[in-house]
């Protein structure tokens, strides 16, 4: 039936409203509903055009039928849109359904052979049965049975009416069949008995009945056409549209409720994790930096009560000097989400090392930061101890050979930059094997500790003394203004062994031999200086020990009277 222009306006507004709804909830089903109403609107637009040529007018009717058919197929597809075999059904539709539709279009334009028209109707039913079997889930037993009955029973009635009435409006019967399928499938995946599903089912049923009445249902071989149908022609479709909008609104409400339930569950999970986590956690305001919530682990670890924590600024926990606000903000933004090593001061004034991780969150509707602090004090201490062991001698605590090499390179680089001299001293304890043989290795180890302590007392903190062998030590001393300073340093080291080493009730007289090499006089690199100082040490031992020899031998030589028998 042709509707007035007001129907076009109402339908356009309806499509606009459905479009807004599907834009807010862009699900596939909602998009297909929107597309179906667009096709339906286009069919109305085509129907409003009057063409003087009968052939063109017939073509217009065929186009209108195709748009209506496309709209109804879109609605049917929307109810099974999640089916995995939908592409197969579309392919079969192109092979089987399209020829049937072309036959229906040909019948609309001109007289079409009845046999071929009946064959097209049969093909249409075959396509319906195939689509039902491929798309409908097996658990939809009742709906599958109803669709099968529509394809067989309705299809048989369709063929019978077509044989009885050659002027039967085939297009209305095809559309009515699709609307009956929509009536069965509408809300099929919704187990709730809602107003939307009831209105939609009733609307599709009434819409199909109106098409059948307009298409000329035959009772007792007499055509009965109810012309009053046109008065209420648009009521069913508006009822369907209303139910779809209501269904989308209902789905949105249900989703919000489910989302609220999930948020409540997530909040409860977060609260449990927050409260029972063994690591200190707190939430601080983004605007004021004040603590707004803290877990029990934070109360235990920091020694403050929960009330005291809630009255504190997070900056109050820092043991390090507080940076300016702009620098702190920039640093916080750069490392947000990454662990940062900080020093926190506890209530008892102890300082601990913590790895702090922060994340931006919303807390009670306000911007905030979630903070977790992991105490790494013991881990940091263990790490420092491991690093110290890797670079220092276990017996004396002095740097080992690997650490010494790095410090020699740094000292030489600094001396070259400052145009100063450095001296490398290789020191060996004289006759130390006799100490081990006489007193034992335990006493020998204590002697080495005493030697290291005496040597260290004459070495500046900026310089380096290292143990590089059993009874061998090496020192690198930089910042010398002239070469004459080096013999004075060596003489000072020799003099500290003039008195015996006291271990318990025993006194052991020790002496040392020193080989020295000057930078840059005797070499400009570590390897050369080490080699030259070793050669000088060999020369010192050859000359009788308890002395210092400088390379090249004997550039400077100092002989001291032996401190005692060795």
272 pLDDT above the threshold of 70:
yes
**Residue 538 confidence (pLDDT):** 94
What is the DSSP-derived secondary structure letter of residue 227?
G
Q: Which of 471, 484, 535, 561 is catalytic?
A: 471
- % of the chain exceeding 70 in pLDDT: 84
What CATH number should be reported for the domain whose range is 392-559?
3.30.70.270
414 pLDDT above the threshold of 90:
yes
Please give the average per-residue pLDDT across 178-205, as a whole number. Answer: 79
**Residue 200 confidence (pLDDT):** 84
Confidence of residue 107 (pLDDT cuts 50, 70, 90): confident
Known catalytic membership, residue 306: no
Task: Kindly report the pTM of this predicted structure.
Answer: 0.50
Least confident of 61-75, 101-115, 451-465: 101-115
Question: What span, in angstroms and rounded, lies between the C-alpha atoms of 44 and 238?
Answer: 14
**Residue 214 confidence (pLDDT):** 66
Question: Would you kindly state where each structural domain of the chain is located, as residue ranges?
Answer: 5-257, 277-380, 392-559
What CATH number should be reported for the domain whose range is 277-380?
3.30.450.20
Q: Contact, 404 vs 466, CB < 8 A?
A: yes
Tokens of 325: 């606000």
**Residue 213 confidence (pLDDT):** 77
262 pLDDT above the threshold of 90:
no
Q: Contact, 124 vs 130, CB < 8 A?
A: no
229 pLDDT above the threshold of 60:
no
Confidence of residue 554 (pLDDT cuts 50, 70, 90): very low
Tokens of 54: 């009968």
Least confident of 35-44, 229-238, 429-438, 520-529: 229-238
Least confident of 11-15, 378-382, 552-556: 552-556
Q: pLDDT, tens digit, for every residue of 69-79? A: 888 888 888 88
Minimal CA–CA distance to 313: which of 287, 276, 280?
Answer: 287
Minimal CA–CA distance to 513: which of 432, 424, 430?
Answer: 430
**Residue 528 confidence (pLDDT):** 94
End-to-end CA distance of the chain: 129
Question: What span, in angstroms and rounded, lies between the C-alpha atoms of 209 and 37?
Answer: 20
65 pLDDT above the threshold of 70:
yes
Does the CA dihedral 257-260-264-270 come out positive or negative?
Answer: positive
When mean pLDDT is compared over 200-204, 262-266, 272-276, 524-528, the highest value belongs to 524-528
Confidence of residue 162 (pLDDT cuts 50, 70, 90): confident
103 pLDDT above the threshold of 70:
yes
When mean pLDDT is compared over 122-136, 146-160, 201-215, 316-330, the highest value belongs to 146-160
Tokens of 175: 């559309």
């Amino acid at each position: 039936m042709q509707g007035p222009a007001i129907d076009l306006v109402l339908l356009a507004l309806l499509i606009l409203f459905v479009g807004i709804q599907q834009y807010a909830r862009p699900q596939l089903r909602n998009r297909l509903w929107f597309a179906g109403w667009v096709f339906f609107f286009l069919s109305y637009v085509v129907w409003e055009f009057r063409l003087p040529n009968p052939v063109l007018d017939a073509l217009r009717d065929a186009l209108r039928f195709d748009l209506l058919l496309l709209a109804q197929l879109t609605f049917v597809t929307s109810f099974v849109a999640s089916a995995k075999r939908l592409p197969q059904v579309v392919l079969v539709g192109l092979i089987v359904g399209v020829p049937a539709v072309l036959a229906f279009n040909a019948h609309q334009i001109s007289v079409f052979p009845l046999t071929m028209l009946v064959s097209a109707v049969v093909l249409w039913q075959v396509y319906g049965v195939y689509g039902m079997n491929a798309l409908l889930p097996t658990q939809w037993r009742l709906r599958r049975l109803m669709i099968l009955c529509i394809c067989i029973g309705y299809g048989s009635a369709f063929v019978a009416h077509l044989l009885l009435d050659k002027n039967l409006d085939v297009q209305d019967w095809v559309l009515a069949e699709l609307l009956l399928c929509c009536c069965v499938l509408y809300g099929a995946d919704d187990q709730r008995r809602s107003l939307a599903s009831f209105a939609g089912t009733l609307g599709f049923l009434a819409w199909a009945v109106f098409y059948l009445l307009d298409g000329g249902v035959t009772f007792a071989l007499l055509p009965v056409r109810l012309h009053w149908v046109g008065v209420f022609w648009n009521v069913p479709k508006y009822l369907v549209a209303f139910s779809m909008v209501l269904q989308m609104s209902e789905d949105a409400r249900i989703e919000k409720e489910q989302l609220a339930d999930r948020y409540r569950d997530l909040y409860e999970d977060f609260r449990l994790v927050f409260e029972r986590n063994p690591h200190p956690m707190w939430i601080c305001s983004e605007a004021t930096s004040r603590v707004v919530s803290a877990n029990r682990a934070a109360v235990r670890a920091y020694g403050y009560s929960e009330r005291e924590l809630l009255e504190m600024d997070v900056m109050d926990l820092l043991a390090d000097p507080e940076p300016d606000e702009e620098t702190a903000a920039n640093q916080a933004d750069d490392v947000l989400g990454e662990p940062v090593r900080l020093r926190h001061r506890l209530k008892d004034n102890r300082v601990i090392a913590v790895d702090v991780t922060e994340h931006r969150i919303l807390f009670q509707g306000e911007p905030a930061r979630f903070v977790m602090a992991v105490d790494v004090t013991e881990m940091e201490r263990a790490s420092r101890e491991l690093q110290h062991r890797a670079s220092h001698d276990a017996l004396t605590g002095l740097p080992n050979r690997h650490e010494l090499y790095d410090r020699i390179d740094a000292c030489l680089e600094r001396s070259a930059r400052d145009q100063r001299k450095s001296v490398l001293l290789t020191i060996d304890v004289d006759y130390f094997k006799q100490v081990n043989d006489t007193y034992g290795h335990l006493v020998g180890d204590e002697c080495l500790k005493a030697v290291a302590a005496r040597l260290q007392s004459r070495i500046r903190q900026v310089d380096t003394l290292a143990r590089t062998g059993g009874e061998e030590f090496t020192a690198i001393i930089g910042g010398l203004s002239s070469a004459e300073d080096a013999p004075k340093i060596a003489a000072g080291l020799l003099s500290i062994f003039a008195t015996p080493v006291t271990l318990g009730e025993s006194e052991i007289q020790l002496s040392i031999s020193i080989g020295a090499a000057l930078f840059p006089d005797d070499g400009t690199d570590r390897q050369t200086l080490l080699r030259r100082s070793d050669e000088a040490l060999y020369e010192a031992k050859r000359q009788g020990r308890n002395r210092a020899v400088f390379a090249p031998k004997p550039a400077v030589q100092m002989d001291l009277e032996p401190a005692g028998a060795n």
